[in-house]
Amino acid sequence: MAKHGDGDDGLRLHHAIRVPLTAAAATPAMGEEDSSSSDPDLASDPDGVSLLQRASNLVSTSVITAYHNKPASFWFLLALSAGAMLTAFPASSLLSRVYYDGGGQSKWILSWSAVAGWPIPALLLPACYLLLDGGASPTWPPPLTLCLWYALLGLLSAADNLMYAWAYAYLPASTASLVAASSLAFSAVFGRVIVRSNNGMGLATVNAIVVITAGVVIVALDSGSDGYPGITDAQYAIGFALDVLGSALHGLIFALSELAFATHLAAAAGNDGAASSSSRFFHVVLEQQAAVSLCAFAFTSAGLAVFGEGFGAMRQEAAGFAGGRGAYAMVLGWSAATFQVGVLGATGVVYLGSTVLAGVLNAVRVPVTSVAAVIWFHDPMSGFKILSLVITVWGFGSYMVGSSGAAKKTSRRDIGS
């Protein structure tokens, strides 16, 4: 560490990292006043580098260090996963409303369509085995512990889809998406309690939880202004409660998925005989999602046959659906595809990032879904809902700013060590 004797206590410590300055940066241009002599915030130290310049250099170094700590494939896969979440999930939510507006009535059929796209990640696996980091071996046969994880996550996913299907039956799409933003709070809590690593509960996280929860409460207080015609207060309350419960279950699924990856990675590393790496073993995301979706599909199919209207109800709904059988098939088909792509993206974010990051991105889609629902479905947008939307975005923004500051502090400590 380099020592300088111009601090308040006679001793100030600086990192021994030096960023060369050009002559133009070090010497004021002719005719210009040296701002560092008049502005206390830009006061220079003996080597001619202002405090502002030092802060800028340190931030740049932190960002570059964080970037180079991970391979390019990591950032590509993380961006791809986040993009899938932010586009496919809003589309899936809007298609749920299209299903009900077109004449669909079965919550079981809608939840079944969400997991009917389980072959999508399975079809991507062969290419993943060949292309990712020089090839990867299938995790086969999966250990019994991993199979139990698949079954548990599949059961929870089936229940989560059914809760959301009930919520969208009774709530406008914009309202349902605003309430679903509470998944960030549940993701943060479950991530901290269940997983702990990579899911710190700092001040920014607590602030985001409080703010977003306040936004959900505001929507609840305004429940009488945005109900659809024919929806009773009791049905609205049921939809609201199930939306919150579904969001809580969503956060729990994120946390358990992150925990399950530890078991999955151990099996994958054993098969490949190599140490685990996020990009090298990204195929476990596809394997886990294909298996979990298959289990959820099995549970939902059994529920539809035993407790629901049965598969024959699809033919009856298609006959009376707005736009005919073709439109009905398109809505269910695209619901299956978009939901599966969104969940696949969320699973990738949990694997590459953390449960909290997945919850944050899940909250980001709220304004997208809400605005799209107002435009396409003419959802009522009262002042309370606008305030709730602003508060939700504010909560997300505060979380990102706080998390960014914490990351910079961590990087600064790493550089100084």
Same domain, 328 and 368: yes
Q: What is the pLDDT of residue 259?
A: 85
Q: How far is CA 16 from CA 4, 54, 69, in A?
A: 12, 12, 20
Please name the residue that has the structure tokens 């059988």: 325
Q: What is the pLDDT of residue 117?
A: 93
Same domain, 240 and 294: yes
Same domain, 290 and 390: yes
Same domain, 95 and 147: yes
Q: What is the pLDDT of residue 404?
A: 60
Which of 42, 65, 88 is where one domain is finished? Answer: 65
Angle among Cα 109, 112, 115 to the nearest 5 degrees reads 155
Same domain, 272 and 374: yes
The number of domains in the chain is: 2
Same domain, 207 and 243: yes
Q: What is the dihedral of CA 179, 181, 187, 188, to 10 degrees?
A: -110
Q: Is 73 exposed, middle or buried (0-12, 13-18, 19+ CB in 10 A)?
A: middle
Same domain, 260 and 339: yes
- Is residue 198 within 8 A of residue 118, CB to CB? The reply is no
φ and ψ at 105, to 5 degrees? -135, -15
Specify whether the backbone of 256 is left (phi greater than 0), alpha (psi in -120 to 50) or beta: alpha
Which of 35, 65, 95 is where one domain is finished? Answer: 65
Using alpha carbons, select from 186, 184, 187, 174 the residue that is nearest to residue 225.
Answer: 174
Same domain, 8 and 153: no
pLDDT per residue, tens digit, the chain (417 aa), is 444 444 444 444 444 444 444 444 444 443 443 444 444 444 444 455 554 465 445 444 444 444 456 778 788 888 999 999 989 999 999 999 999 999 999 999 999 999 999 999 989 888 877 776 555 667 777 888 889 999 999 999 999 999 999 999 998 888 888 888 788 788 888 888 887 766 566 777 778 778 877 877 777 776 556 667 788 889 988 999 999 999 999 899 988 988 888 777 766 655 554 444 555 577 888 888 999 999 999 999 999 999 888 899 999 999 999 989 999 999 999 999 999 999 999 998 988 888 878 887 887 777 778 778 888 877 777 777 788 778 877 877 777 676 665 555 555 554 555
Containing structural domain, residue 405: 73-416
274 three-class SS: coil
Same domain, 179 and 37: no
Residues listed for the chain: 417
Neighbours of 183 (CB within 10 A): 28
Same domain, 273 and 326: yes
Which of 65, 91, 108 is where one domain is finished? Answer: 65
Using alpha carbons, select from 349, 297, 70, 337 the residue that is nearest to residue 184.
Answer: 349
Same domain, 198 and 248: yes
| Assessment of whether the complete model's pTM goes beyond 0.75 | no
Same domain, 231 and 166: yes
Using alpha carbons, select from 393, 394, 387 the residue that is nearest to residue 220.
Answer: 387
Using alpha carbons, select from 218, 65, 243 the residue that is nearest to residue 161.
Answer: 243
- Is residue 92 within 8 A of residue 161, CB to CB? The reply is no
Distance CA 393, CA 217 (A): 15
Using alpha carbons, select from 85, 86, 89 the residue that is nearest to residue 173.
Answer: 89
